[in-house]
Structure 1
Amino acid sequence: MEITKKMKILSKLLEKFLCYNLHKNGRKVLWFATMTMVLDVIEDYSPLRGFKYARLDGAFEVHEKEEIFPEKDISNFLLVNTLFGTGTYIYTRKHVRQSSSCYRILYSVTGALLLSFGSVLIWSVLRSIIPANQVLFTVTGISTSIAITSTGKKYLTDIDAMLHSKNE
């Protein structure tokens, strides 16, 4: 089996950074990927190198989640996933890529926190205003999620377009 150049580099980084015995010394690595295909490759690669892994995405099995998060409170789990997803999305935007890596991380974390916790605040306020009806709560939550996400995405796209037109 031939290993791609990226996987060779990744393997060398893991060996150097984590003293090679990752599975023996208890150190952990957190992978971020914008495509599930990358996680599929890492999922196949990890056992070949003797690494244990836990996948936290749409392919994440419910029984695995219950082992890691025994309280069965999915809200915190989903909020953390939202923070990582939003932060990763902001980090890869054209206008953010021009900043130094420290500021890219700062902007991504700040944007993810503002968007995620701002939406939680909006949901709690709306929940106190609308009549007690589970279906209405669900529809309101999904509607505000779509509106907030669409607005945030449009904002970032417009900023990228303005930056692109300035550079021309």
Structure 2
Amino acid sequence: MATLVDKVNMVLTSSGMRPITRDNLLYYYAPIKGSLSYGVLSVQMFNPELFENFKFLVIPQYISLTNACLVNTISGTGLYLYSSRHLAQATPKEKFIYCTFGTVMFNLGSMLLWALGRTVAPENTVVRTMMGAAGAVGALYIGKNYVAYLDAHVRTVKA
């Protein structure tokens, strides 16, 4: 008799996703969740009025949407970088430092660009939403390609 996890894994693999394992949860699904949070964060930065009176089921009211999204996107980006091939030979301490630096620069740099972009964006909700979403998709695309480029040019070290 198949367990619930087996059934979920069958559905996931048949739909092209990875099965549920510790590594897949940390280095595949957490970065996906971080990417989604990054998109929400960018739209929220460009258009905070959209989320003023919105009630979230999983976020307590004393935590702002910006902070909740930022925590998710920082953890997702950090785990994505931590699992990348170009850091495979680094010591755990170096990996942590490089991942922390990379994720903080990517996320806080994005927030700075979005805040500056909002000052020049027209006072139109649809345009601001599209600018935020396009900015997030573009930054994620460039970031993913950059890490893939670094990973592709890694030489394997023979022990």
TM-score bracket, normalised by the shorter chain, equals 0.5 to 0.7
Cα displacement string for residues 52-93 of structure 1 (whole angstroms, at most 9, x for unaligned residues): xxxxxx9xxx43422xxx235211100110000000000000
Instruction: Please name the residue that 1:113 is paired with.
Output: 104
Q: What are the ranges of 5 or more consecutive residues in structure 1 without an aligned counterpart?
A: 1-31, 38-57
Distance apart, 1:33 and its partner CA: 2.0
Aligned partner of 2:57 among 58, 63, 81: 63
Instruction: Please name the residue that 1:83 is paired with.
Output: 74
Aligned partner of 1:103 among 94, 105, 121: 94
Residues 94/36 of structure 1: CA separation in 2 closer, same or farther (3 Å cut)? closer
Higher relative contact order, chain-length normalized (CA < 8 Å, sep 6+)? 2
What's the Cα RMSD here?
2.4
State the SS of the aligned residue for 1:63.
coil
* 1:94 maps onto 2:85 in alignment: yes
Q: For residues 82 and 65 of structure 1, what CA distance do their matches in structure 2 show?
A: 15
* 1:151 maps onto 2:106 in alignment: no
Aligned partner of 2:127 among 125, 133, 136: 136
Deviates more, 1:151-160 or 1:71-80: 71-80
| Correspondence 1:16-55 to 2 at 5 A | 33-35=26-28
* 1:124 maps onto 2:111 in alignment: no
Equivalenced residue count is 110
Q: For residues 90 and 123 of structure 1, what CA distance do their matches in structure 2 show?
A: 22
Residues 149/64 of structure 1: CA separation in 2 closer, same or farther (3 Å cut)? closer
Structure number, greater radius of gyration: 1
Cα displacement string for residues 92-149 of structure 1 (whole angstroms, at most 9, x for unaligned residues): 0001111000010011111110110111011111100111112111111110111111
Report if aligned partners of 2:27, 2:83 keep a CA contact under 8 Å in 1. Answer: no
Identity over aligned pairs, percent = 27
Partner amino acid for 2:72? N
TM-score normalised per structure 2: 0.62
TM-score normalised per structure 1: 0.59
Q: What are the ranges of 5 or more consecutive residues in structure 2 without an aligned counterpart?
A: 1-24, 31-35, 37-55
Q: For residues 71 and 63 of structure 2, what CA distance do their matches in structure 1 show?
A: 14
